Structure 1
């Protein structure tokens, strides 16, 4: 009896999302999954991957893109790990590592004071409170050593010297094609650069034959990979590398706001004028970022050959740096993600 039940359930699931499956399986459509920034909220991406696995979407995906936390989960997926395997890797990591991402209010005040009295540094006031190299190495190292790449993977990082978004990848690319746009990069260096959240983490310096570049969080320029995906697709079509005439981007938005960090509600913020100014600045930055995301999405949908599926996993009430919030993120995502795909399925033509 058990053997008969599973196919029936799978068949019912396929019928329920038949419109999604039909769109994904179009031979002339390139399907790209785009995982947005989110810090600890990145674990919500796993629910999206689990859903896509259920409808058999993996065989239709051509590329995996990510920014910040989305780049980390995206790299796991691109290296062939299933959703449940990513969860297991994360569980193993947190059982053996104590990870603190949120700086204390005291460390913020000390850093501000240190930079204020230093005349030798002409850079930004806040350089960052943590270096996440070792943590990401522990989290990703085994997968990169033993895994085999299943999908082309690209991540975004913001180039501080050039004031632009760069694409970093360990996927082989044609020499000279994506000049000053896509850079061959060690995958560990790439996710460290993409995840270097401004103020919180130390910027990542990458030096190679092309020179030295300093990167901060990919979300600083493109929180959800959209414009960069579109740009690459157009370039590939222009030179004949891409034969498919349509582009479908599954863009996962985790609603990341810097102002949700817990220390912005702390007592020290209310007592020190400089920190109050920082809080207001960060809130304004969030508003600007959300407006920019909307503009970037509009650029894609103006092209009749591009389809954008917006999967909005709104976790704005969950701090994106609080490791203790991971179970809450997972629980919320397991409810939100199916509802989002229900909405998308209903929006498609029969």
Structure 2
């Protein structure tokens, strides 16, 4: 079996790659070239996780890097690389995504929807392909604010808070259509919670969502110094948010992939068993940037100019939602994400250091 992975140098992708390397002799990484060579980025992550020197030394023998761009037809692959990839791949993991919350960004749609289409087109040409794995997000629920979101729920009638949510919803729809046309291929869609990590930062580490929120808040404080005295934003501090340590998500994905062999297409909510109150997240970020912040459900929705006008609609609606997420499909596979470490104030502080 040979797995090929897109997005393997991103926040989720690195943890997933580590799980796959624990299970497989060799993995193909499809990645764009960056400031540092791909293997150096992978090695830096594994070193930060405490990988022994022998594992790092063997990395070039176990990870084959293929430079690719999912936004381009045929992923922009060199003909020789494409021929090898098509011939060898038996499991294709599509993990690459643009996670920006801008409501208007064409780049988000090009990466998340057109990119998924291009990866599926490549899958069409892999004669030995046995399984397709797609990383999605619990945010495909969009503006649906209440009730329990099941694994198979996929409904756009509530609308979406951002182009990110809409593009990931549309990508799921496309994957479902592809799965229906390829019944011989095992297809899993993983809907991931808000993922985070308390792994200490290291040079070149990809940004995680909470750190992006922290850095955005710090930028706003610098640009609008009047908020240093404190700010109130619309939302209920008790609103539940599903926050999951990324290592639990990656392990659940890899375990589910091993167990879900020979079954029909399935969607799995990869979520924490407990939810975190929104105030805990807001307070953790606010403490880190030194600005008191409270959630007030009586306040009207914010209207903001410029960059804030893109970010606010994608973030703040979660503070008014009571929805939760079921993990029925994981349970049916005999899996569940653990409760430890607890995502409490100390854990969030560690994530934001």
On whether the aligned pair clears a TM of 0.5, the verdict is no
If asked which structure has higher relative contact order (CA below 8 Å, sep 6+), I would say 1
The structure richer in helix per residue is: 1
